[in-house]
Amino acid sequence: MTPPETPTDGTATNGTSSPAVSVCLDAKADASLPVLKKRSDFLAASRARKQGTKAMMIQARKRRDDEAVDPSLVRVGFTCSKKVGNAVARNRAKRRMREVARAILPDHGKPGWDYVLIGRKDATAIREFLALQGDLKWALRKLHTPRN
């Protein structure tokens, strides 16, 4: 299907694109936060601090000094169980959490920490975006407050 703004009279040249075509950046080239991929990293975070919010559960752990990861990095992982819904619902929830993490963690996350965001059933996908951001900020404040 040709976008409506593309010239149909043959005046379009190769290399020109219509304004209706979106230009997507390579996700790996634009990755501002390293993403957790190994199961062992997720398991380590599950044994560390946790803080629940209305929209998600956040697990956080301070990495050990002997780990082979740059200590100045903030890493993040995302997961949703099948309780959240089918694949479409889980992917939507993870996309929303990814965007919230991309906006909040560079400023509010601590270097040397790993965070895992876990989606909640009937909450992550439908909660307002500003409320999601507020949830993550609140949870990070609680997680980084010294324990008594």
Q: Return the domain boundaries, the chain.
A: 39-144
For the whole model, what pTM was predicted? 0.76
Q: What is the mean pLDDT of residues 22-41?
A: 66
Q: Which two tokens stand for residue 67?
A: 């780990």
**Cα 58 to Cα 10, 106, 109, 115, 134, distances in angstroms:** 54, 16, 12, 7, 13
- The amino acid present at 103, given as its one-letter code, is A
CATH architecture assigned to 39-144: 2-Layer Sandwich (3.30)
Give the pairing type, strands 75-79 and 49-52.
unpaired
* Sole residue written with tokens 């509010």: 108
Higher pLDDT, 138 or 67: 138
**Position 29 confidence tier, pLDDT thresholds 50, 70, 90:** very low
20 touches 5 (CB < 8 A): yes
Question: Is it the case that residue 23 has pLDDT exceeding 80?
Answer: no
3-class DSSP assignment, residue 115: strand
Q: What number is the average pLDDT over the span 130-147?
A: 92
134 CB-contact burial (10 Å; exposed 0-12 / middle 13-18 / buried 19+): middle
